[in-house]
Structure 1
Amino acid sequence: MVGAGMLGLPYAMAELGWGPGAAVLVLSWIITLYTMWQMVEMHEMVPEKRFDKYHEMAQYAFGQKLGLYFVVPQQLIVEVGVGIIYMVTGGKSLQMFHDTVCSSCKKIKTSYFIMIFASVHFVLSHLPNFNSIAGISLDAAVVSLSYYTIAWTASLHRGVQPNVQYGYREKSTAGTVFNFFSALGDVAFAYGGHHVVLEIQATIPSMPEKPSKGPMWRGVVIAYIIVALCYFPVALIGYWIFGNSVDNNILISLEKPAWLIALANMFVVVHVIGSYQISALPMFDMIETVLVEKLHFKCTRTLRFIARNIYVAFTVFVASTFPFFDGLLSFFGGFAFAATTYFLPCMMWLAIKKPRRFGLSWWTNWICIVIGLLLMVIAPMGALRQIIIQAKTYQFYS
């Protein structure tokens, strides 16, 4: 849950402002915890059946064809988008590590660092399942807590910057509004994780007297407590210290002490290695299922080797071509994560659970659906504007 999106939260606060920013952070935490609880509950809601994949639950809720066509494109966008963003994050963090420890060295292109980061995944992507990446995931979790601690403690150590300003960065009304929309997408991305929750729960043994939702929900609660302890200090302290001059990655704003910032960037690299694998495994499963069941390829190691390497190469190509961290974060956060995180679980809950009409559960789910749909529409608008502005001065593969 604690992902690279956390690094952009102070920047999102700068675009939202103190009041709206704090409200959006808290409201998103509450809504996504609620929808995560729904996913955990629905995993075994139907007797003698487990929904091990997001689209399986959607097919049961909306019908075989509608559920597949409605959810699978969203899942694809989420998982491919996460892969691209983590490629950008890993490459840029490697670059910042290099530039920090060797400031006098010759500058190397960002695209080269992205390729260096990607080389790890051409090896790790051939691990078969979630259980096989448990060690990588543990390392990623430990270092994520480490660099979040560095981010807010180093910010406190720097102290409030001279002439800090908390007003909106943009001078025009249109710019302020579009940046506000974009920041909503940044927050949505930070809270994303629902797209793999069913696959994770599927690895937990389940019996009638001890269903998997018990240990899964305990894990979710612990994860969300840690999320709160990570996100809120980084977002609020980062914005308090740097104001609206904060960079889209808080570690860029933190220039000193050099050794600590270099260490934090290397922690980010280790973390996104694990995060990329967690998001990629459902994609590998989906790609290989289509190749074998629909296109009738033989299920061989060669097929797995080629298919997985092509997917990794694709994410590397897109990340190297469009390495816009903040714009991509906001676009995928709004366009994809808003659906899988904010309103699709509520729609499936209404279809499967069928709560009493106009009751508390009914109203709660419809409010979440409306919020999620609005987020899905307005956040990509702000993100696309950011990407277009950045693209005007960007040179490909620079």
Structure 2
Amino acid sequence: MNFGDTCDGIEANYKQAMVPTSTAAPTVAGCGGREKGLGYMKTSFFIVAQMTGVGFLALPKALANSGWVGIVMILIFCVSVAFAVTRLGRSWVILEERWPQYRQPSRQPYMEIAERAFGSIARKICFWCVVATLLGYCIAFTILIGGMLNRLVPTLSICEWILIVTLILCPATFLESPKDFWQASVVAVIATTVSVIVIIVQLMLDIPLHPNPAHPTPSAASFSLGFSAILFAFGGASAFPTLQNDMEDRRDWWKSVCVGFSVILSLYMPVAVSGYVIIGVDVEDNIMGSVSEGILVIIAIAFVIVNLMGTYVICLNPVDQAFEELFNVPNSFNWKRVLVRTSIVLLVAFVCLAIPDFGIILNFFGGSTITILSFIFPPLMYMWLIDMKGEDNQWPQITIPLWERAYLWTIVFVGVVGGITSTVAALMKILTPETFGHSCLVHFNLGYED
């Protein structure tokens, strides 16, 4: 499957179309190099860091909910989301060629693509989906960090740790954009790799503790929850246009996607399969809660915490930039930036205290906004932009092979059907009395439950 064939071809078509009106064909800035920015390898680190903060911890439970077919779903979703994401990158290149103002960095690239494809209403829908998705990630990260710190230091409750984590992370969110803290992505990837290795080793050591793991046939409701958890694990598309905007050469986006998703799959699959095979249906929402205590687990928890902290900053940055654009905050460090970004961090903390269960957060956002942004919007926006005609047909004609169009529509169909069923299942779980009974706002002294 060819992920990276476009920018050169589109630029050639663009130049050919402009030859009759100019003796010198213009250069498409977005397809060429930029003086400063991220290289494709650094960008691939951001992709891995963006997507592996929570996903690998929840995948064993996702397989327990979906059964053995969940392994196939992980493979299919990885390839399909990667393919859709490359088309999302192509969509931005098309914007740069047709509208020169997009050759400059944009604070809301995903929303710009949606507006050019479908109009202003789509821009608003996309905006709130992106905001909700990234806030959902940060909520899940904060709850996980608080829970694992509670496991290491149980004298403080998970609710108290959530407040402490919020105070620690807030200053780090004041940095301008991902290119200013690319080192965080490298640290996050290294931390994830080490923690994955440690978890697998500990699972192997725990095999005698699980002599007869059960692998029953999943119910429709549990399968939907497994579906949404796998979607969540591959749901980083909402921040990807921002990463592409910070690249030195945006033509290299497909390279970043290929490298990033290959690394992600190599991290996800071993943990998911080993956790489900060894523990079975009894595996917990967070695989860390299903492994035995010991020095290896403590090391893994420490690395996961480092990973989640770095990923929190990366995920929250596009939300910060979107709201700064909304409130006309200058693009420099100033008191308005501090006020806006601090308010967003406090909002995240409030939701964490209200629903301190990352499994519920993961299932809800995985089935709703993440599905829209990763499975539905990218294929539709790309096909619509390709099929659009400019005034007097001045835009070069671009065609999509039949197999590719069919594949893109298949991705959309799977996203719609799976997203609806998964969201309904997640909402049913959220609205149970047990969920409200565990709120920190009701019982602030609630301790972390393994």
- TM-score, structure 2 as length reference: 0.79
Name the amino acid aligned to 1:42.
S
Do structure 1's residue 217 and structure 2's residue 254 form an aligned pair?
yes
Match of 1:228 in 2: 265
Name the amino acid aligned to 2:419.
M
The verdict on how the C-alpha distance between 1:251 and 1:59 changes in structure 2, with shifts beyond 3 A counting, is: same
Name the amino acid aligned to 1:373.
V
Match of 1:189 in 2: 232
Distance 1:223 1:253 in 2: 28
Do structure 1's residue 159 and structure 2's residue 193 form an aligned pair?
no
The one of 92, 114, 134 equivalent to 1:58 is 114
Match of 1:350 in 2: 383
Name the amino acid aligned to 1:266.
A
Name the amino acid aligned to 1:61.
A
The one of 341, 346, 357 equivalent to 2:374 is 341
Question: Which deviates further from its counterpart, 138-147 or 349-358?
Answer: 349-358
Per-residue CA distance 1:207-230 (angstroms, 9 max, x = gap):
xxxxx222x222221111111111
The answer to whether the 8 A contact 1:335-1:377 is kept is yes
Match of 2:66 in 1: 16
Distance 2:333 2:277 in 1: 54
What pairs up with 1:81-160 in 2 under 5 angstroms?
81-99=136-154, 107-159=155-207
Aligned-pair CA distance for 1:233: 0.6
Aligned-pair CA distance for 1:358: 9.1
Distance 2:193 2:431 in 1: 34
Match of 2:279 in 1: 242
Match of 2:314 in 1: 278
The answer to whether the 8 A contact 1:140-1:272 is kept is yes
Aligned-pair CA distance for 1:88: 0.8
Q: Give 5+ residue unaligned stretches, structure 2.
A: 1-50, 388-397
Per-residue CA distance 1:257-299 (angstroms, 9 max, x = gap):
x111111111111111111111111111111111127xxx998
1:353 is paired with a residue whose SS is: helix
The verdict on how the C-alpha distance between 1:78 and 1:127 changes in structure 2, with shifts beyond 3 A counting, is: same
Aligned-pair CA distance for 1:367: 1.0
Distance 1:141 1:299 in 2: 29
Runs of 4+ residues over 3 Å off in structure 1: 48-52, 297-300, 355-358
The answer to whether the 8 A contact 1:60-1:67 is kept is no
Distance 1:203 1:44 in 2: 13
Match of 2:304 in 1: 268
What pairs up with 1:318-397 in 2 under 5 angstroms?
318-354=351-387, 359-389=402-432, 390-391=434-435, 393-396=437-440, 397=444
Per-residue CA distance 1:12-63 (angstroms, 9 max, x = gap):
1011111x21121111111111111112222212424448410011111112
Aligned-pair CA distance for 1:168: 4.8
Distance 2:312 2:430 in 1: 23
The answer to whether the 8 A contact 1:238-1:250 is kept is yes
Distance 2:199 2:110 in 1: 34
Per-residue CA distance 1:72-95 (angstroms, 9 max, x = gap):
121111111111111111111211
The answer to whether the 8 A contact 2:355-2:439 is kept is no
Distance 1:298 1:339 in 2: 29
The one of 62, 71, 79 equivalent to 1:30 is 79
The verdict on how the C-alpha distance between 1:217 and 1:362 changes in structure 2, with shifts beyond 3 A counting, is: closer
Name the amino acid aligned to 2:284.
D
Aligned-pair CA distance for 1:393: 4.6
2:431 is paired with a residue whose SS is: helix
Name the amino acid aligned to 1:227.
I
Aligned-pair CA distance for 1:197: 1.1
The answer to whether the 8 A contact 2:114-2:122 is kept is yes
Do structure 1's residue 177 and structure 2's residue 216 form an aligned pair?
no
Distance 2:318 2:421 in 1: 28
2:417 is paired with a residue whose SS is: helix
Question: Which deviates further from its counterpart, 48-57 or 176-185?
Answer: 48-57
How many residues were matched structurally?
Answer: 373
The answer to whether the 8 A contact 1:182-1:381 is kept is no
- TM-score, structure 1 as length reference: 0.88
The answer to whether the 8 A contact 1:97-1:263 is kept is no
Aligned-pair CA distance for 1:356: 6.0
Per-residue CA distance 1:373-392 (angstroms, 9 max, x = gap):
11221111221233334416
2:328 is paired with a residue whose SS is: helix
The verdict on how the C-alpha distance between 1:392 and 1:132 changes in structure 2, with shifts beyond 3 A counting, is: closer
Per-residue CA distance 1:293-312 (angstroms, 9 max, x = gap):
7xxx9987111111111110
The verdict on how the C-alpha distance between 1:298 and 1:235 changes in structure 2, with shifts beyond 3 A counting, is: closer
Do structure 1's residue 39 and structure 2's residue 84 form an aligned pair?
no
Q: Give 5+ residue unaligned stretches, structure 1.
A: 100-106, 170-175, 207-211
Do structure 1's residue 252 and structure 2's residue 289 form an aligned pair?
yes
Considering only CA atoms, is the larger Rg found in Structure 1 or Structure 2?
A: 2
